[in-house]
Structure 1
């Protein structure tokens, strides 16, 4: 935050902006940099409203922010979405994430210190250096070769803990950091553990910070498959009621329930409900790619109107107060009375402003009493004001016309994020994966326990085992038809492995293919029988007999 020493700051455009020859990203960047930013810098508005927008921010992917109590499953949910671990990731029942992680796309997996990343001109959040070196020590960037990260940036944060503020020492302003990420986020996923519904004082403070941005929030009740249906409904109602009071809104927040990890759902009766909630959640996340342009356009408008209001107030206050008067205790009250009773009314009437476009009296007081502000000097020149007013009155209309065309140019987010495991059956799995799963789960002994006849099992022999899975008869029939290729109603041991693997895949939320991929097909053993217990014993006996015979000397 540098002080502006000159009495006036002038801005002269070297070219005429033609928005019809640009897209919404380039036009917004140029308009903001040439017509809004000079006024913000002249008034040092970053003192009270945070850092300005940088060039890289306009063209960057949307930001998905994860917040919530510790051990609620935030990092696990990110891994579930990415289908991979990000470098530096830590998961555990204790508070394991000790820093903010900014997860971006990169050609190889690597973790990079934020001290380095903030100097990269392509990094959209360079302004976090303003929070100081202590915060940069507690923030890192994780680069992953995951295609999902081409369409979004994810921020993973440490869990909110119930701490004693008197004994907790932080060398940076954590609330300001969280507020910064919340303002920049296009969606905020607030994750709660189904077993930890009590909202601590620190969590309430977080909710208060989030409240103005409630429209961005997606509430998730995680680990929901570990309790019964009745308990889940009670937990969902309790969380909805608590958040409704905390958000202080008329409409109750919608709570998505599910179990966002790579393990099978424990209660199959709740599977369809979880799939439905997950589809709604992913749909909201996918919409970020269209909403991001609207959000940035609105942010430019907001910043322009706030800069205009502060510039008008600044010009009005020049000469009416001396710098030493701002040090008096009564100045805040006097300024508030003058603003609310006189100045604001004149500005609304003369410049046709809306009351909602004017800052609060406290924000004006905070601004003019800053060490970087001199209330006795004019901060914004007439030329700067004319440029800004022209942007608000005329250029915004031209810029707004680009928005529908940009959104219709391509179907943003159509193939962006699906239920994370759906495509694995077809693309990433092969027979070796099935064979390894059979070894880990001892499916060979399970096969033998069903007493196969000549190394083959029928549907009747497997009926009890299949019914215990909890899957519908249609799903089980489809799995059987995929595996039993010669349609004789019997499967060998390798095909038995494949049936078990497909059942486990469906229970993890994957979709069955219409036709079994070639890579998943077991070796051609259907014409041959797999070895039974009796066959294995006979084979071992014959081998020992042959060995003894070879050792016996001939007479």
Structure 2
């Protein structure tokens, strides 16, 4: 009886001691010096050269690409209008994944917000219900989503199209931080498989797509206990299609498992994601525990540390290449605008060729839009220009595009010229083939990317128009 009583008292004491030990371990904050070293937060930047390059990029876009966008209403085809705020914005790092996998804790850890009044709220239950944008500011303050969307100097003004219900779920946090001077973090609501879009009150998938299209780095975070893939997560990976180079998969809370169990979970994660990521080279997977507290004892601590350093180097690479990525993004956008203008020009030309005095204009153009291959619209673009067939947009999109915009409301490219302003096609081609690559070369060589006098005035050259008949 005495032995039994001793055992009954000892078990609760052991459990209490284990709980106290766990609490003590959690109270020990991890050393963060490697974050500052890897991300080079103490180094000073040449802000003057960076600002000059952004100003040059903005001038190229407004003078050479935007006029073509407006003339052929490209925004109504792709629903992607580039603002000055987007051109000058910092690289965006997006956190996606199921609920309670450690996305907010990871942001707190990278920024050192733990135990401060402005740390993102975390917990075992679904806690983040808003899209939270953490950005640089002169002082710590919270910015409402309505204010963010109304400010044209920011890159978030296009979010107004998702409605007031969404803007109430958008919040910004500004704070003075060296890392936020170079990058912006976006924390998203966790994916809950049994919740439908209608229950959120706004188009959740469309909002995610908006952020995905603009993100420079996308962290998809998983918990070892939440590896099941449902319809919501499957939809998310469909939206990530084509952005595999920006995706990094994170198996978080790895120190909560023994090494052998972690290996099984790692294999199970690849097994679950394999049908969703159908590419030759899968995204990089980081295995560690990204939160402010020290690693659990008797786990693969050295492996976790190396993985964390690798992730920070990945993030630093995006920060270092932010200007090059921005130029490449504007150039890619310019190529799409040029292809769109060439296609609209071809549709207009075909329509005029098929029209006669007795023709029904609606029937003629319906036939052209329904069967563009019959009139060699897309094939002629490939034959006469240096456009890749892989860059051509979906043909069905032009049926909807011309349903809103009558074909006779567009001029042909040969008519889009003026003596003072030049030809729209010549200007956009010059930007794609010469100006943007030259700006990229000047950055890599360390030269001043400011405007030269000839670039600003054109040196008095008469505009050429190869589409005008002599």
TM-score by length of 2: 0.75
Give the SS at the match of 2:57: helix
Distance in 2 (alpha carbons) for counterparts of 1:383 and 1:335: 23
Alignment of 1:127-526 (within 5 A): 127-163=158-194, 165=196, 168-318=198-348, 319=351, 335=369, 337-339=371-373, 342-369=376-403, 371=404, 373-379=405-411, 382-383=415-416, 386-393=423-430, 396-407=433-444, 409=446
The aligned residue for residue 12 of structure 1 is none
1:396 Cα deviation after fit: 3.5
1:169 Cα deviation after fit: 3.6
From 48, 61, 68, the counterpart of 1:39: 68
Distance in 2 (alpha carbons) for counterparts of 1:213 and 1:101: 22
Distance in 2 (alpha carbons) for counterparts of 1:98 and 1:61: 24
TM-score by length of 1: 0.64
1:395-414 C-alpha deviation (Å, 9 max, x unpaired): 6323212224424649xxxx
1:427-464 C-alpha deviation (Å, 9 max, x unpaired): xxxxxxxxxxxxxxxxxxxxxxxxxxxxxxxxxxxxxx
1:88 Cα deviation after fit: 7.6
Distance in 2 (alpha carbons) for counterparts of 1:95 and 1:159: 7
* Uncovered stretches (5+) of structure 2, i.e. residues with no partner: 1-48, 448-470
Give the SS at the match of 1:256: strand
Higher radius of gyration, 1 or 2? 1
Asked if the contact 2:108–2:119 (Cα under 8 Å) also holds between the matched residues in 1, the reply is no
1:285 Cα deviation after fit: 0.5
Aligned positions, number: 384
Determine whether 1:126 maps to 2:136: no
Distance in 2 (alpha carbons) for counterparts of 1:298 and 1:23: 17
The aligned residue for residue 57 of structure 2 is 28
Give the SS at the match of 1:168: helix
Distance in 1 (alpha carbons) for counterparts of 2:361 and 2:168: 38
Structure-2 change in CA distance of 1:76 and 1:164 (3 Å)? closer
Structure-2 change in CA distance of 1:409 and 1:45 (3 Å)? same
Structure-2 change in CA distance of 1:86 and 1:345 (3 Å)? farther
Structure-2 change in CA distance of 1:244 and 1:323 (3 Å)? farther
Give the SS at the match of 1:247: coil
1:62 Cα deviation after fit: 0.9
Higher alpha-carbon deviation: 34-43 or 96-105: 34-43
Distance in 2 (alpha carbons) for counterparts of 1:275 and 1:397: 44
Determine whether 1:102 maps to 2:133: yes
Give the SS at the match of 1:111: strand
* Uncovered stretches (5+) of structure 1, i.e. residues with no partner: 1-19, 411-555
